[in-house]
Amino acid sequence: MDVSAESVRARVRRAREALADAAEGQDPRAVSAALDELEGALQSARDNGVAIPAAGEDQEPGRPGPPRSGGGSDGRGRG
């Protein structure tokens, strides 16, 4: 399959946004579907040798990135 790197990155970006929206809405079925799409998008990137930036590093201007966890001493925001 011949796909452009930008189209793969856009698919991953959309899948990440959909997952964040589904998680915010607390809908388990939507989260599951969004996670499946993200996994498929990331697999497509691997299959096509497309480098994908870490979540939050590929955000479009004006769209906030994913929430950051607290900085507790145990690394999980629990102090």
Tell me the domain boundaries of the chain: 5-47
pLDDT at 67: 47
- Between residues 37 and 72, which one has the greater pLDDT? 37
Query: What predicted TM-score, i.e. pTM, was given to this entire model?
Result: 0.68
Q: Flag the least confident range among 30-34, 52-56, 65-69.
A: 65-69
Burial class (CB in 10 A: 0-12, 13-18, 19+), 34: buried
Question: How much is the average pLDDT of 3-21?
Answer: 95
